[in-house]
Chains A and B, each alone.
Chain A
Amino acid sequence: MYSEQLRRSLALVEASRGKNLEQQPPRLTETERQELLQQFHPDYRPDAFVTLTHGENAGDRVPTELAALLQGTPRLSATAALPPITERVDVLILGGGGAGAAAALEAQAYGATVLLVTKLRLGDSNTVMAEGGMQAVSQPTDSTARHYLDSFGGGHFAADPVLLGKLVGEGPETLSWLTSLGVNFDRDKSGRLLTTHGGGTSRKRLHAAKDRTGAELMRVLRDEVWHRRIPVLPYTAAVELLTDRTGAVAGAVLQNMKTGERQAVCAKTVVLATGGAGQLRCQGFPTTNHGGATADGLALAYRVGAKLTDAESLQYHPTGIVFPTPLLGHLVTEKARALGAQLIDADGNAFVHPLEPRDVTAAAVIRQCTARQNGLSVEGHPAVWLDTPMIERLHGIGTIRSRLPAMQQQFARFGIDIRTQPILVYPTLHYQNGGIRINDRAETTVSGLFAAGEVTGGIHGKNRLMGNALLDILVYGRTAGRSAAAVAADKDFAEPTLGHLADYTPQNSTPSPMIFAEN
């Protein structure tokens, strides 16, 4: 199944394994890291960014693909007739991942009438794909102050202190909320919570449910939404927000994914929980994200005048799958490198220390495949090897089966035994660090509009620590639900219009929002 080039390189990898195991490449100095990032990290490529000319963030540089969407052509025109209003609710929640489900549960608990609208089924989201775990302080040797330090430094001191303080401060209570709903986190035999390290943590505070943390979390939240009989409208995408005469958000226009039919929902408040942007596939990178991660929320919010923050900052995970091609871009967990698997080039040489930070490692892989011309090519996609057999050489036969069972099964389905064969990887678009600006009540800069989850920015600064996204969607999802319910309680329904589109001029013909990735 491999080409001649790949087979020859594979032989070199096997021949050099012993040598590579003995001698790791040295760790880089801080100056070398900065140089490597400047030259090869996708965030530093000037030709891949443009300056926004319109809207609240005019003058900011953002990825070209995002700019096209933010200044693109709405799916409705200002002069079009509003589709029929089919519902009136206190709180309209857009997005059915973890943030949306948490917001719905909390808004309903605070007495609001709620409608949750989501593009696919409730739970089809990035949340369900999270493997590693969620950070929260639960151990006596740890503290929320430590969690704050780890996260603030990890994000290069660029996070909003108040937002980050709230995130970590509510960690323990959020973890309790989840166990009260019946989420099964890993525990030892006596029932005590098990915690592990994630990249950049000074205490073990990552809580996992085996290697399927997001799936366990999401299915419990979904079950609870069903039990509380919260109305859910699946297979339906929000394509435009509605505003009242004062510019406050007053509902949304929805489009059925199967029939294309449209309807309008009138709401006192709207919570945007539409998730990430991986499917923009910036600079041609593949992505770890689910098919609906198309940054819709950013486009919708920007058009009604919401301010974005750190929108230029994306996270590329260094190890996305290149082969087998059906899995292109999907995540190879960091655990593989933590267990000792090294990145190896076409000639069989290790070229980066296995424990460099994510962004530095990604840049090193890109340098190997571009400037140094020492990468491989698989059906036109660049790649290097990740030498997984090293794991068993270091920790003994059986380690992969016990520590990376899902990964082993995933590759075995395509005839690759990762215990004996290295795999082919390349950086992949993983997470959106920035997004819609919010305050600690999850309010955006636009009245009536709240936001939570990956669609927001400011909480993680310029880089997110592993495990903080899952905490984020719950802390801020619940906050958004509560705040939206409280505001709705003191408000009457307003006349929803497409008024904001009247002073909007598209700068290009890109349909906005994108709604779904073309594969």
Chain B
Amino acid sequence: MPTVSITVNGQTYAVPSEQTVMQAMETIGLHTPHSHSCRSGVCGACSFRYRLNGKTRGGLACQTPVADGMEILKPPSAKASVSSTDPIACHSCGQCERICPQQLPVQWIVAAARDGALRRCAELSFLCVMCGLCAERCPVGINPALEAMRARRTVGKSHHTSLLADNAELQTLVSAPLAAVKAAYENRDFEG
């Protein structure tokens, strides 16, 4: 099986080229069970930082194939920071955006939060997995994921309307004999 070499904690390992970073960590015995959950790129538990071709990037270990010469700077793990500096402090350095494993326009997300453009902020940040990599990098302590969360929740609340159920017919069905319920089931009409 073809291999590539990756570096973790200053040590170089040969790992199968078809593996993800998460599998490679398991292969070399550096994996801890609590640094993953979904293995499908949604929970953000396995975020890691690496250097490749002179650039520092962030990734989700379960979704990132290994590459020759990859240097793992921060092994898969996630830390959720629950505080954030006011986004007014952002000086557009772009660090957050470069590290985002979801390739989100994080700088713009922060700018939209700062400017009160909440709808835009919510839209741009929908695919955020709240992995915490951006907050870790921000030199002034902004947590873009929390700013985006706030925006999305505000937008969501702005649409809120109360729904009330009329459960009279339901109550009749719940206590009806099985044959009657079966007949009603067979006779349903379908919305196209």
Q: Are A124 and B38 in contact (CB under 8 A)?
A: yes
Q: Does B105 contact A (CB under 8 A)?
A: no
Chain B min CB distance to A287 (Å): 10
CA distance A181 to B152 in the complex (A): 10
Chain B min CB distance to A98 (Å): 13
Contact residues in B for A413 (Cβ distance below 8 Å): 63-65
CA distance A167 to B126 in the complex (A): 29
Q: Which of A148, A150, A197 gathers most chain B CB within 10 Å?
A: A148
Q: Does B45 contact A (CB under 8 A)?
A: yes
Q: Does A183 contact B (CB under 8 A)?
A: yes
Q: Interface readout for B154-192 with A: 1 if CB under 8 Å, 0 if not? A: 111101111111110111111100100110110011110
Chain A min CB distance to B2 (Å): 11
Q: Are A182 and B157 in contact (CB under 8 A)?
A: yes
Q: Does B37 contact A (CB under 8 A)?
A: yes
Q: Are B165 and A171 in contact (CB under 8 A)?
A: yes
Checking A162, A220, A324, A410 against B174 with a beta-carbon cut-off of 8 angstroms, the contacting residue is: A162
Q: Does A173 contact B (CB under 8 A)?
A: yes
Q: Are B188 and A128 in contact (CB under 8 A)?
A: no
Contact residues in A for B178 (Cβ distance below 8 Å): 157
CA distance A148 to B188 in the complex (A): 12
Q: Does A431 contact B (CB under 8 A)?
A: no
Contact residues in A for B54 (Cβ distance below 8 Å): none
Q: Does B95 contact A (CB under 8 A)?
A: no
Contact residues in B for A516 (Cβ distance below 8 Å): 33
Contact residues in B for A179 (Cβ distance below 8 Å): 156-157, 159-161
Checking B26, B32, B42, B163 against A129 with a beta-carbon cut-off of 8 angstroms, the contacting residue is: B42
Checking B41, B45, B164, B172 against A410 with a beta-carbon cut-off of 8 angstroms, the contacting residue is: B41
Q: Are B126 and A212 in contact (CB under 8 A)?
A: yes
Q: Interface readout for A90-124 with B: 1 if CB under 8 Å, 0 if not? A: 00000000000000000000000000000011011
Q: Does A172 contact B (CB under 8 A)?
A: yes
Q: Are A210 and B126 in contact (CB under 8 A)?
A: yes
Q: Does A372 contact B (CB under 8 A)?
A: no
Q: Does A511 contact B (CB under 8 A)?
A: no
Contact residues in B for A157 (Cβ distance below 8 Å): 178, 181-182
Q: Does B7 contact A (CB under 8 A)?
A: no
Q: Does B55 contact A (CB under 8 A)?
A: no
Q: Are B33 and A129 in contact (CB under 8 A)?
A: no
Q: Are B37 and A290 in contact (CB under 8 A)?
A: yes
Contact residues in B for A184 (Cβ distance below 8 Å): 122, 126, 152, 155-156, 159
Chain A min CB distance to B32 (Å): 8
Contact residues in A for B164 (Cβ distance below 8 Å): 172-173
Q: Are B154 and A143 in contact (CB under 8 A)?
A: no
Tell me which residues from 56 to 101 in chain B have a Cβ below 8 Å from any Cβ of chain A: 62-65, 78, 80, 82
Checking A120, A121, A143, A204 against B191 with a beta-carbon cut-off of 8 angstroms, the contacting residue is: A204
Contact residues in B for A164 (Cβ distance below 8 Å): 174
CA distance A259 to B34 in the complex (A): 11
Q: Which of A164, A187, A215 gathers most chain B CB within 10 Å?
A: A215
Q: Are B169 and A121 in contact (CB under 8 A)?
A: no
Q: Are A172 and B34 in contact (CB under 8 A)?
A: no
Q: Does A48 contact B (CB under 8 A)?
A: no
Chain B residue at minimal CB-CB distance from A414: B65
Q: Does B36 contact A (CB under 8 A)?
A: yes
Q: A128-B38, A144-B170, A184-B156 are in contact. Are A202 and B33 (CB under 8 A)?
A: no
| A residues whose Cβ falls under 8 Å from a Cβ of B | 1, 120-121, 123-125, 128-129, 137-138, 141, 143-146, 148-150, 152-153, 157, 161-162, 164-165, 168-173, 175-176, 179-184, 187, 191, 197, 202-204, 209-210, 212, 214-216, 219-220, 223, 226, 235, 257-258, 290-292, 324-327, 330-331, 410, 413-414, 516, 519
CB-defined A-B contacts under 8 Å, sample of 17: A123-B43, A124-B37, A143-B166, A149-B185, A165-B174, A173-B163, A180-B157, A182-B155, A182-B156, A182-B160, A203-B191, A210-B126, A212-B127, A215-B129, A226-B82, A258-B32, A326-B19
| B residues whose Cβ falls under 8 Å from a Cβ of A | 18-20, 22-23, 26, 32-34, 36-43, 45, 62-65, 78, 80, 82, 122, 126-127, 129-130, 149, 152-157, 159-167, 169-175, 178, 181-182, 184-185, 188-191
Q: Given A153-B182, A292-B37, output 18 extra A-B contacts at Cβ < 8 Å.
A: A124-B37, A128-B38, A138-B163, A149-B188, A161-B175, A169-B165, A169-B167, A179-B160, A179-B161, A182-B153, A191-B159, A202-B190, A220-B156, A223-B149, A257-B33, A326-B65, A330-B40, A410-B40
5 closest Cβ pairs, A-B complex: A182-B153, A182-B156, A124-B37, A172-B163, A165-B174
